A and B are shown apart, each in its own frame.
Chain A
Amino acid sequence: MTPPGRQAPGGGPSRRGVFLERRTYRRRRMADAAGLLPLIGAVLLMIPLLWQGGGVTKTSHVMFYVFGIWALLAVLSALVSGILDHDRHADADADTDTRAQDKNDAPPPPGTMG
């Protein structure tokens, strides 16, 4: 019996190339975008606080701004989620890949997800 080490299916990072397949790469970047969205949203929604410095800012203007950003966030979120969803259907994503192998094999060593 050969020791099931890094050569085993679902194995470690050494098996995975430096460059990812184009689709996987795009998916990763979309995931990054999904993670970035709330940060962008938070920053944009803080901006009106800076307008209080000099002179009087009208509530109605801020209202337009806030609701505009709100709609923008919803649209961006729909786009990003849509692309992530599309990719998920297009090819088996990395998560389910390893998970599928888990069932056949003993669990992979932790931290194999690059």
Chain B
Amino acid sequence: MNTHNLLILICILYAMLLFAVAFAADRAARKGRGAWLSSPLIYTLSLSIYCTGWTFYGAVGFAARSGLEFVTIYLGPTLVMVGWWWILRKLVRIGRSQRITSIADMLSSRYGKSNTLAVFVTVFAVIGTTPYIALQLQSVTLSFAVFSGQDPTGMTIKNLQQPALWVAAGLVLFTILFGTRNLDANERHHGVVMAIAVEAVVKLLALLAVGVFVVWGLGGGLNGTLQTIDASELAEWRVPGGRWVGLTMLAAAAFLCLPRMFQVLVVENQNEGHLRTAAWAFPTYVMLMSLFVVPIAAIGLKLLPAGSNPDLFVLTLPLHGGQDALAIVSFIGGFSSATSMVIVAAIALSTMVSNHIVMPIWLRLTGGSLMKSGDVRGVALLARRFSIGAIVMLGYTYFHFSSGGAALAAIGLVSFAGVAQFLPALIGGLFWRGATRLGALAGLGVGFVLWLYCLFLPSFGAGVIVPVSVMADGPWGISWLRPYALFGTQGMDPLIHAVMWSIMLNTAAFLAVSIVTFPRPVERLQGAQFVNVFEHSSRAGHWTGGLAQSEDLLIMTQRILGPEEAQALFSGEARRQGLSGYLPEPSTEFIERLERELSGSVGAATAHAMVSQIVGRATVSVEDLLAVADETAQIMEYSSRLEAKSAELARTARQLREANDKLTQLSEQKDAFLGQVSHELRTPMTSIRAFSEILRDGDDLSRTDQQRYSSIIHGESLRLTRLLDDLLDLSVLESGRASLNAQEGVLGDVLDRAVAATGGSGPEFRIERDPAAERIVLHTDIDRLAQVFINLISNARKYCDAPEPALHIDVRDEAGALRVDFIDNGSGISVPDQAVVFEKFVRIGQTRSGGAGLGLAICREIMNRLGGDVSYLPGQRGAAFRVTLPHNLRIAAQ
């Protein structure tokens, strides 16, 4: 087997290992055995995606070219991490309290949930990151090339595009599989994080192994290595002060602003306390990563032939020393660095693209008309998956067209400089309440244009995009506008020159425009909440303007989160408010909480827009303005508290009124029922009496007449018995004296029986079922359960008013319980009637059939006795009832 094939085999095995790790971690987390998955150590290791393929290979090259300067790339993040108390603590707190999904969401949320800003940041981030992904693919390709250089068959660079494409495709697959499992971006991607942690360990060990081999195997021990360094061209310490300081600051800024770093630092953070560990563990990690860089560079320069690429010393030195195995370990280290970066960057960017670009467009195009459970969720997930593929493939395309170009080597720092433009708006937003949306837009715009003009476009080389004449003399011969010598600042390092001007003018524009513009109320409110995040409880916008319909909110939430989660959320809130069922009181707190939950899935701006569609405009209440305006706090606070109290009183009064209405309604129904029962008892009684009198007195009755009259008497007395049976049944169940006859049966059989007993499924009444899901063995009172099913099905048959009535029976086996939903396609039950439908003697609407209104009451009693429940399920299209059976009733699924 030649080296090339061996490498491919190793790559595939390694990829399989990663898939297995991610899969196992996801499984463990879902089974609740994943406590160790959210340990501070894993968090710290996940931060190591800062060290990409570019740093793994490129650091040595950097050191070979300019000595110790390379450490600035690691010193910046070290300082940020050591200073976590200042910025990171605040970022993480805000990220958690506002359920931030990305850096674009962060800025958008801070500046009044502005989607314009989010779109801008997203586009910027994609432009800045694409070349970086290309760089990772190139590093993998180059490392392949090193091995094939050893290979007698020989490979050309062109052939090596093939592995890059395969790597890209594998990464897309991995990221889609493990990165888009859940819609909620705040939910941790356990599989991905775990795989990244493994990769972090692999790349550190690989680099350390190479370092140890180079120092003690090739360099002749510590002293020998030091002598080599002192004798090499790196011996003299001469680093331009501007670059030393500038690069450190640039790396620090990029550490905070890179979308992938923001993803692991803030979005995937589970616990603020993890920062305390990362504060020392991350600096230690990067220190170890850079420990052997200078020795490797110096020894590589000494031992390897002149002209060999210093970027690949990490690979070529072990090969030179005849250590093929070590070279392969090193190759895997580089492969790890490159892949983990691409995975996280793709997740972060795809979240931004889908939440801030695709979703708003989709919502606008459809006008929110497609109302189906989970449809928004489906679109969002699909958008995220497509974005992942598109972003990685964009990186591949970039790599393909600039293949082997020197432009790529410099792109790492160019990319850093690009994302650093977010810094003024980010830091300003965290610490200065005066920062406004327009200020942020102006600053970002200025920074972006300058970065493009002074750094990004010229980085392709003079004459490629920017004409040579412009580079030399400036546009239209204005020498003050030369890309590398703006405003006459000649002789500066181009990178430092661009960073200095872009950040300086960015900050200036941000500050100036912020000072002269006036923020909107939402902006001021968000500003106060971000800046004073440690003082205020986290409260986003304030919803007033009438009580929204809980049912509409539920329908919307089902669209985004899917029916399960939405119903759990709503019923949880209802329980918290002391209500039963699925619809909580739409209080301000609840709507705020709901908006935050939704923003975890689709971003703050979209969630805000969707909630306001239903609830109406968000207004900023006195209470919230208080947070904005410190002045006259006392009086305003008092009045706002009064206001809050009176709102609370109004709510309580409303609840009391509702309770009273319900009681009155019940009492009326009871009276009506007594009348009904008397009537029901009297009618048969009357006819029984009349016909028995005829039988008694009529001597000349024919045989047929006698038979007819006595069968009428018999029928009427049967009707009486049935009514009395129902009443008796109910009273026995209510008093808890009913005995249960537990036996085993298959759920499907019980349903079959119920369907058959109610007249079966036919064209006049269609019943849709899923026999596969119904193969569940139950251990319960089968007859009683069948009684409940019969009742529900016959109710649907009686009351469903659709032109083509149909009943859908949905069986779902969930962790806690078995659920059987009966959903018909009629017009459903109105909200006020939902509250009383299970009460005794209640008949909804006009009585079409002769029931006494006891059926559902009996059903509920039966289910209570069986340890389950039956409830009305709002938010479906027709009337829907949910029968819940506790888990211990089932024995085993077949």
Contact = CB atoms under 8 A, between A and B. Distances in A.
A38 B458 CA distance: 34
Nearest to B248: A45
Contacts of A66: 68, 71, 75
Interface in A45-69: 45-46, 48-49, 51-52, 56-63, 66-67
Given A48-B237, A59-B68, A107 B287 contact: no
B283 A73 contact: yes
A73 to B, nearest CB: 5
Contacts of A78: 279-280
A77 interface: yes
Interface string B636-652: 01101100100000000
B704 interface: no
Interface string A97-114: 011001100111111110
Interface string A71-95: 1011111101110110010000001
A77 B623 CA distance: 40
12 contacts: A3-B638, A5-B634, A5-B637, A74-B82, A77-B279, A85-B276, A106-B623, A106-B641, A108-B535, A109-B626, A110-B633, A111-B630
A20 interface: no
A42 interface: yes
A81 B238 contact: no
A59 to B, nearest CB: 5
A103 B539 CA distance: 11
Nearest to A32: B85
Contacts of B237: 48, 51-52, 56-59, 61-62
A46 B72 CA distance: 11
Contact of A110 (B235, B238, B284, B627): B627
Contacts, number: 149
B241 interface: yes
B280 A102 contact: no
Given A3-B638, A98-B535, A107-B539, 16 more contacts: A5-B637, A41-B79, A41-B82, A46-B244, A49-B239, A57-B237, A62-B237, A70-B287, A78-B279, A81-B276, A106-B623, A106-B637, A107-B536, A107-B627, A110-B528, A111-B532
Interface of A: 3-6, 31, 34-35, 37-39, 41-42, 45-46, 48-49, 51-52, 56-63, 66-67, 70-71, 73-78, 80-82, 84-85, 88, 95, 98-99, 102-103, 106-113
Contacts of B241: 49, 52
A8 B528 CA distance: 22
B304 to A, nearest CB: 19
Contacts of A34: 83-85
B236 interface: yes
A106 B535 contact: no
A88 B275 CA distance: 14
B750 to A, nearest CB: 47
B157 interface: no
A-B pairs with lowest CB-CB distance, top 8: A38-B83, A78-B280, A34-B85, A81-B276, A102-B537, A57-B237, A77-B280, A109-B633
A90 to B, nearest CB: 14
A4 B627 contact: no
Kindly name the residue among A49, A71, A107 whose own CB sees the greatest number of chain B CB atoms within 10 A.
A107
B599 interface: no
A37 B532 contact: no
Given A49-B244, A78-B279, A35 B86 contact: yes
A114 to B, nearest CB: 11
B242 to A, nearest CB: 10
B627 A59 contact: no
B805 to A, nearest CB: 49
Kindly name the residue among A77, A82, A98 whose own CB sees the greatest number of chain B CB atoms within 10 A.
A77
B276 A59 contact: no
Contacts of A70: 75, 78, 283, 287
B814 to A, nearest CB: 31
Given A56-B236, A73-B78, A78-B280, A35 B627 contact: no
B36 interface: no
B226 interface: yes
A99 B78 CA distance: 31
A3 B635 CA distance: 9
A6 B644 CA distance: 18
Given A34-B84, A63-B68, A113-B534, A41 B638 contact: no
B527 interface: no
A57 B291 CA distance: 20
Given A57-B236, A78-B279, A106-B623, A38 B86 contact: yes
Contacts of B637: 4-5, 106, 109
B656 interface: no
A66 B239 CA distance: 13
B236 A107 contact: no
Contacts of B726: none
B80 A38 contact: yes
B633 A31 contact: no
B67 interface: yes
Contacts of A75: 280
A59 B236 contact: yes
B388 interface: no
Nearest to B629: A110
Contacts of A106: 623, 637, 640-641, 644
Contacts of B273: 85, 88
A42 B746 CA distance: 72
B793 interface: no
Given A57-B237, A60-B229, A112-B535, A77 B283 contact: yes
Contacts of B727: none
B891 to A, nearest CB: 44
Given A4-B638, A49-B241, A85-B273, A110 B78 contact: no
A78 B276 CA distance: 8
Contacts of B234: 59
B230 A58 contact: yes
B768 to A, nearest CB: 47
B280 A81 contact: yes
Nearest to B286: A70
Nearest to B241: A49
Contacts of A67: 287, 291
B294 interface: yes
Interface string B520-558: 000000001000101111010000000000000000000
Contact of B537 (A48, A73, A103): A103
B612 interface: no
A103 B273 CA distance: 22
Contacts of B75: 45, 66, 70
Given A49-B244, A52-B237, A111-B630, A38 B280 contact: no
Nearest to B234: A59
Contacts of A31: 85
B79 A42 contact: yes
A69 to B, nearest CB: 9
Nearest to A79: B280
B245 interface: yes
B277 interface: yes
Nearest to B283: A74
Given A37-B82, A45-B248, A81 B537 contact: no
Contacts of B244: 46, 49
A67 B85 CA distance: 23
B623 A107 contact: yes
Contacts of B229: 59-60, 63
Contacts of B84: 34, 81
Nearest to B634: A5
Given A37-B82, A106-B644, A59 B294 contact: yes
Contacts of A95: 534
B535 A58 contact: no
A26 B71 CA distance: 35
A110 B537 contact: no
Interface in B239-254: 239, 241, 244-245, 248
